[in-house]
Structures are given as structure tokens and as C-alpha cells.
Amino acid sequence: MVIVYEKSYFIENQLKQCNSCEEILPLDKFGIKKRGFLGVKAVCKQCLNEIEKERLKSSEDARDVKKKLTYKWRIENKERWKEAHRLYRSKRKAYKRLLPNEITLKNLEEIKTKEYDQDTFEIDHFIPLSWGHGGTIAENLCVIPKSWNSSKSDMNPFDFMDTLKTNEKTYFIKIIKRIANQHKINIDELRQYVFWCEQNKRSIEQLMVADKSKKSFEIWKEVLDL
């Protein structure tokens, strides 16, 4: 038979019935809660510990499942995972320099050329991030052979093109045409834009106070009143 006690019984004896295990226990077996009955929580400390253990176990199990699924996906989609990881690093570099970094994997697919291969080609910034312009955006990314990256470094892309061999220059001109088309300008205008960026490099301090809503290309157009 279940005995039902009046509230006065608990008040007089400084006891509390746990809402979880239903045991009647001294108040020191409960956590403090100012607005609770008798200033303590509805569930005893032991029950709360058990509940927390179960919660942690469930969350750990969920994390383990997620890890296994993630690992499985990486193994089955090795090349795509590498691509996503490289994209993340590229976006992170732009983010650290306070530059636009909204590129997506879908954008990346549109940028790739038929020659693209992860072992021999890589995604590079057309206008170097160190200039404080451009960013990790579709209009500022291009696919170049990995062998070019060390020599290109932070060079002006048009100056870099002059150092290439004839067949290499032909490929780079294709890159220039695509980027010009994305900006909806011609190659001469793109050249002007790039040289303007080089002549007006921005430091981190300058970028901190710059208008984040405007990209470098928009600022250049405003300066020239295009």
C-alpha cells in the first residue's frame, strides 16, 4: 500500500520525496534550488547522477556512430574529402585576412578545367591574399599546375604570365579570360583591376576598419566610377 504524506509531514521532518526513485530522503540528499519545495531540487543527487551518466553514454554513443559514418564516408569518397579539406583551408586563410570566403564545392566544380587532377593541379588565388584584396571567392580562384605555385607565390598574375613558356602562357590566358568573364569585363579592364589591387595593398589593420559589405572589385569600380 502506497502511503501519501501531507506537505506538513515533509516540512516538519525536513524530508523530501524524490520524483525519480520516489524514496523519502533527508534534504541534504538533494541539490539546492531556491524556488523548489523546501529549497531543494525535485530529484535526488543520486538519481541526477544516474540520469547524467545515461545522457553522457547516449551522447558518446551518438558521437561514436557519427565518427564511424564520417570515417566510412572519407574512405569511400577520398578524393572529394581531400577537396573539401583543401577548400576549408583556403577559406580559412581568407577569413584570417578578413577577406571574403564564401566559395562552395559546387563553385569549385565550375572552376575546374578538363586538365584538373589533384595530383598535378591545385586551386590557387588569382590575386594573392597577401595584397588584402580578392579573397577565396569564385571570381578569384583558378586551377594551376602545382609546379607553378612556388614561382607564382605573391606575384602579380600578369607579371607571372610573362615568365611562362608559350604553351603554358596559352593555358594561363584561358584562366584570365574566365576570370574577366566572371567579372563581366574585358582582359584590359581585368589588368587594370589587378594592378590597382597591387598598388593599393591593404594591411590587416586597414581591413579591420574597411566596409565588409564591399568586395575589392566593387571598390575598384567605384574609384574609377565605372
Q: What is the pLDDT of residues 41-79, one digit of tens each?
A: 999 999 999 998 888 888 777 777 777 777 777 778 777
Please tell me the predicted confidence (pLDDT) of residue 79: 78
Angle formed by the axes of helices 187-199 and 216-224, nearest 10°: 100
| 4 pLDDT higher than 70 | no
Please state whether the predicted TM-score (pTM) of the whole model is above 0.85: no
**pLDDT band for position 181 (50/70/90)?**
very high
Report pLDDT digits (tens) over 82-137.
Answer: 778 888 888 899 999 999 998 887 887 777 766 667 678 888 999 999 999 999 99
**How many residues are there in the chain?**
226
Report pLDDT digits (tens) over 134-159.
Answer: 999 989 998 888 888 778 889 999 99
Please tell me the predicted confidence (pLDDT) of residue 114: 63
Report pLDDT digits (tens) over 7-20.
Answer: 888 888 999 999 99
Task: Read off φ and ψ for residue 110, nearest 5 degrees.
Answer: -75, -25
Torsion angle defined by CA atoms of residues 46, 52, 54 and 59, in that order, rounded to the nearest 10 degrees: -170
Going by CATH, does the domain composed of 7-54 fall within 3.30.60.130?
A: yes
Question: Can you give the residue ranges of every domain in the chain?
Answer: 7-54, 77-224
Please tell me the predicted confidence (pLDDT) of residue 1: 45
| 190 pLDDT higher than 70 | yes
User: Cβ distance 113 to 143 under 8 Å?
Assistant: yes
> Would you call 40 helix, strand, or coil by DSSP?
strand
Q: Which three cell numbers stand for residue 84?
A: 573539401
Please tell me the predicted confidence (pLDDT) of residue 68: 74
Residue 47 to residue 70: CA distance in whole angstroms: 34
Q: Which three cell numbers stand for residue 180?
A: 574577366
Going from the C-alpha of 205 to that of each of 62, 75, 115, 218, 222, the distances in angstroms are 43, 42, 39, 20, 22
User: Cβ distance 120 to 145 under 8 Å?
Assistant: yes
